[in-house]
Each structure stands twice: as structure tokens, then as C-alpha cells.
Structure 1
């Protein structure tokens, strides 16, 4: 196992994950870790085990999140708003069938 210092565990790359901060070598964003930990209640061990990550990766992501919490929480809110807007604009084929519209 290669030793990575904490400042190299979280990276931002413009063409990967939309430039969001993520765990180096993975497409798992700090935002993902924050949602799983704070909103779903998963502990660091669960996240590390589920996604085959080192505990240090999880703690580095959480530390990054707490330093940049306002920015990342805003990104989460924007993502939720986008999904809701798309749901309002796009009809569900299943819902249409259930209502006999097709």
C-alpha cells in the first residue's frame, strides 16, 4: 500500500466528475462521502468497506468537506433542485401507462 499524504488524497480534475473534489484514483466525490456520512448515517468504516477505500481516504474527504461545507452543501442543493425540475418537466412513461394515456 502506497503512502499518500493527506493533501494528495483529494484532487480536482476539470474533466473528471465535473471538476468536483474527489478521492484520488476514484470517481467518488467528497460530496458522495458527505451524503453517505452525514445524511445516510454511514460511518467511515462502512463507506471504506463498501467502496474498497482506505479509511484515510474517507477521513480526508470528510476533512475537506468540513472545510468547504458551504460550497459542497450548495452543490448538493443545486443537484436536488435540478432533479426536481427534470421530474416536473419530463413525464414518466410508467405513470402515463398507469393512467391509460398511451
Structure 2
């Protein structure tokens, strides 16, 4: 008579990672392992090293995926749809956050809140705000550059 042992290396908790299946002892989702394998071409050994988990945990995630492939693939498609919608929404928003903040800084009342006093703390605050604007503009350019060159690869 053969012995069958249960190996419980995958769990679901509605309070962790949206209830998606994760590897026990981590918050690493099964979908993360599948994505690393499918789109990044990572081997199980590389994924174990990348995520600092055991090879057994990688194979447990892959076994879970293959036993629940329709569900996981649907989850991947939904994540892709949401990601694409977010990118499109950000790109469609002509009135971006940095533009709104730049307009606020041109408003005398708003600007006065940061520049009324002449002590060093207010000068530092104004410098931080200007640095924030520069950083936001750089991030906005990076997003625009990324969106112009990226595509979402659909599941087969």
C-alpha cells in the first residue's frame, strides 16, 4: 500500500494579496512565479534564487498553476486589463498632477503659503517643493516614454 502525503505549500488569505494563491511563508503569489517563467523565461532554479525560496516552493506554485490553470490565466488576463486601463487613464489625463501643482504654484495665495516668511525653514520648504516639481516632471516624462514603447502581451 502506498502512502500519499499532503504537501500544503500554497495558501489563500482574503487579507493577503487580494486572496490570490500565495506560497506559504511568503506573500509571493503563484501568478508571480508563472509570470517569471512565461514572460521572463526564468527557470525554476533561477526563480528560486530570484525570490529566495526553495525549489520545492517553486514547483509547488507551478503544480498549483497547472491544476488551476483556467483560474490563474483568467486572473492574469484581468490584471493585464486593469493595468492597461490604468496606463490609458494616466495618459488620457491631460490635467496631470504636476500640471495642477504647477498652476497652484502660480496662484498667489497658494504660493504665499510657502513663501511668506523669509527664514531658512521657509526657503528650504520652497526648495523642496521646487525639487518635488522637477522629480514629478521627470517621472511624467518617464511614464510617457514607457507608454510609447510598451505593449501588453496577451495570453495565448
TM-score, with length taken from structure 2? 0.55
- 2:1 aligned with 1:7, yes or no? no
**1:22-101 → structure 2 map (5 Å cutoff):** 22-91=22-91, 93-94=140-141, 95=144
Aligned to 2:104: none
C-alpha RMSD of matched pairs (Å): 1.6
Task: For 1:66 and 1:6, locate their aligned partners in 2 and report how far apart those are by CA, in whole Å.
Answer: 17
What is the CA-CA distance between 1:6 and the residue it aligns to? Answer: 5.8
Task: For 2:45 and 2:51, locate their aligned partners in 1 and report how far apart those are by CA, in whole Å.
Answer: 10
Structure with bigger gyration radius: 2
Structure 1 residues 6 and 31, CA, compared in 2 at 3 Å: closer, same or farther?
farther
Q: Which structure shows the higher helix fraction? A: 2
Deviations 1:21-61 (A, max 9, x none): 01001111000001111222100100001111010000000
Task: For 1:76 and 1:46, locate their aligned partners in 2 and report how far apart those are by CA, in whole Å.
Answer: 22
Task: For 1:54 and 1:6, locate their aligned partners in 2 and report how far apart those are by CA, in whole Å.
Answer: 18
Greater RCO (Cα-Cα under 8 Å, separation 6 or more): 1
Task: For 2:7 and 2:71, locate their aligned partners in 1 and report how far apart those are by CA, in whole Å.
Answer: 19
Greater shift, 62-71 or 37-46, is seen at: 37-46
Structure 1 residues 77 and 28, CA, compared in 2 at 3 Å: closer, same or farther?
same
- 2:39 aligned with 1:19, yes or no? no
Runs (4+) of structure 1 moved beyond 2 Å?
Answer: 91-95
Decide whether the 8 Å contact of 1:33 with 1:61 is kept in 2: yes
